[in-house]
């Protein structure tokens, strides 16, 4: 039941959005290219971040690059 407290969890890392051009889904209203997001959880294909709506959402890794 990890999803219950994702918003309060410690940030794993920070990522910068590099694009919001999705082929199948609309993500440009939830992601802003150039903005840095906090990662709360990660799987093989997705990052779970707090998006522009201030809620947790999962996005494919192709939209981001790591901030150092």
Q: Which residue has the higher pLDDT, 10 or 35?
A: 35
- Exposed e or buried b per residue across 19-29, where buried means at least 16 C-beta atoms within 10 angstroms of its C-beta: ebeeeeeebee
pLDDT band, residue 68 (cuts 50/70/90): confident
pTM of the model: 0.85
pLDDT tens-digit series, residues 16-60: 999 988 888 788 889 999 999 999 999 999 999 999 999 999 999
């Amino acid at each position: 039941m990890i999803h219950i407290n994702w918003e309060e969890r410690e940030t794993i890392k920070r990522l910068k959005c590099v694009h919001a051009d999705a082929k199948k889904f609309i993500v440009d209203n939830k992601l802003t290219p150039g903005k840095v997001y906090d990662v709360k959880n990660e799987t093989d294909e997705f990052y779970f971040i707090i998006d522009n709506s201030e809620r947790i959402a999962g996005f494919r890794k192709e939209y981001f690059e790591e901030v150092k």
